[in-house]
Amino acid sequence: MPATIITTEDLREFKLELLDDLKAIMNHNSGFTPKKWLKSPEVRDFLSISPGTLQNLRINGILPYTKVGGVIYYDYEEIQKVMEDNKIHNKF
Any domain includes 56: yes
pLDDT digits (tens, 9 = 90+) for 61-76: 999 999 999 999 999 9
The confidence score (pLDDT) of residue 30 equals: 59
Reported as a single tens digit per residue, the pLDDT across 14-36 is 998 988 888 887 776 655 557 89
The residue range of the domain holding 62 is 37-85
Measured CA to CA in angstroms, residue 81 lies from 60, 64, 75, 86 at distances of: 16, 11, 10, 9
| pTM of structure | 0.61
Q: What percentage of the chain's residues is helix, strand, coil (to nearest 5)?
A: 55, 10, 35
Within-domain flag for 12: no
Does 1 map to a domain? no
Question: Would you state the pLDDT for residue 42?
Answer: 92
Summary mean pLDDT of the chain = 88
The domain tally of the chain equals 1
C-beta neighbour count of 40 within 10 angstroms:
16
| Inside any domain, residue 5 | no
Count CB neighbours of 45 within 10 A: 10
Domain annotation covers residue 17:
no
